[in-house]
Amino acid sequence: MGRFAEALARPGLQAIAEVKRRSPSAGDLRPGADPAQLALAFARSGAAAISVLVDDRFGGSLDDLRAARAATDAPLLGKGFFTGEDDLRALHEAGADAILLLLRDLDDARAAALHSFAADLGLDALVEAHTAEEVDRAIALGVSVVGVNARDLSTFAIDRARQLELLARIPEGRIVVAESGVSTRAQGASAELAGADAILVGSALMKAPEPAAKLRELLSRPLVKVCGMTNQEDVDAALEVGADLVGFIFAEGSPRQAPAVLDVPDTALSVAVFVGEAPESEADLVQLYTRQPGSVRGRDGVLLRDDEPVADVVDLPWEGEDPDHLARARAREGRVVLAGKLGPENVAAAVVEVRPWAVDAVSRLERAPGLKDHARVRAFVEAARA
């Protein structure tokens, strides 16, 4: 495993930030982009690795890779359409740590030969798939780093739902990269929960007024969940101020029982909250609590994606207190969703103490049970991100 793969294998969701002047689908993105300046800014803003387009169809060249190499020691991915050993040798000489291999353009024999030649040069290979067949081919080839592109390179259409299905298809033991289709924290999180170790982001960064700031935004944690939604107006208000997840409670007896999973765009995630059992739901995720006699729910819950646990929900007892609540949460390993009487006044301190993957608030954001105070929702989101 080389520098590129090692960087992507670090704990938490990693990012490959891409230097790309133009796109065949979107046209010019940032024609005057300086690869050296961008590479350095991306490295300083949390990128695990940097992808540099070297194909002139994207406004790139090997000189861009050389400039990025001179500016930073971060792992570099040389990206283009490569079919021969000479291509890989040129990338290595220009300073690449890894190269892209597109299974769409390579049969198994050619892919295996290039993968082996890259290894001989000391290069990692990101082997990219677009279909279930190509994912299976990558697995059969035994490659270490598998990328799943949400963009169809023939039509340029983005299909994130298909990408998430393919990410979940890849067995453990591989480094998995979600390519394209990520422009928000929630979209990155959905890829993470489907099994991605890293996201590769190009267009969203290059379109942003400040690409490095956009990268920091995509990687920032905690995610912010506003729960107890009962009407579309409150959903829209929470999303407008930057909530990443919105929750709908379906527990019998809850004063915040939702009529349905309301409309949530694919830039955010919907969460259906159940007690006892979790029926099929239209929500992206399910938050499940145990049933406890004498209360609406048990204490802690679990966040599920397709019935698989992906995070622990560390909560307070129903209508109760616990002075050791934050210490309990801090001691948990893995992804933690911190809940329990959080509001604008206390969430910043809780984030500093626990460093959770997400924070979840309900009652302290309300003007009445089930009805949100929009000013407090805004203040909560801002305080959680402070």
CB–CB of 342/364 below 8 Å?
A: yes
Fold of 223-384: TIM Barrel (3.20.20)
Query: 132 Cβ partners below 8 Å, 6+ apart?
Result: 166, 169
The DSSP line for 12-46 is: S-EEEEEE-SEETTTEES-TT--HHHHHHHHHHTT
**Six token digits for residue 341:** 């009487």
Q: What is the mean pLDDT of residues 231-251?
A: 97
Q: Residue 313: phi, psi to the nearest 5?
A: -100, 110
CB–CB of 360/329 below 8 Å?
A: no
Task: State the DSSP code for 299.
Answer: S
pLDDT for 10-39, tens place per residue?
999 999 999 998 887 777 778 888 999 999
**Six token digits for residue 120:** 């001989």
Beta partners for 360? Answer: 225
- Torsion 185-146-181-38 (CA) sign: positive
Give the span between the Cα atoms of 154 and 29, in whole angstroms.
Answer: 20
Task: State the DSSP code for 364.
Answer: G
**Six token digits for residue 45:** 């803003």
What is the pLDDT, as a whole number, of residue 168? 93
How buried is 268 (Cβ within 10 angstroms: 0-12 exposed, 13-18 middle, 19+ buried)?
buried
pTM greater than 0.85: yes
- Torsion 181-167-196-34 (CA) sign: negative
Give the span between the Cα atoms of 32 and 21, in whole angstroms.
Answer: 7
Task: Tell me if domain 3-218 and domain 223-384 are identical in fold.
Answer: yes
User: What is the residue type of 44?
Assistant: R
Task: State the DSSP code for 278.
Answer: -
Residue ranges of the domains in the chain? 3-218, 223-384
What is the pLDDT, as a whole number, of residue 56? 80
**Which whole-number Å values give the CA distances from 127 to 130, 297, 328, 358, in the listed order?**
10, 45, 41, 31
Q: How far is CA 244 from the centre of its chain?
A: 11
User: What is the residue type of 297?
Assistant: R
Exposure class string for 318-346: b at 16+ Cβ within 10 A, else e: eeeeeeebbebbbebeebbbbbbbbbbee
Superfamily of domain 3-218, CATH level 4: Aldolase class I (3.20.20.70)
pLDDT for 105-119, tens place per residue?
999 999 999 999 999
Beta partners for 272? Answer: 248, 286
pLDDT for 111-157, tens place per residue?
999 999 999 999 999 999 999 999 999 999 999 999 999 988 778 78
pLDDT for 174-185, tens place per residue?
999 999 999 999
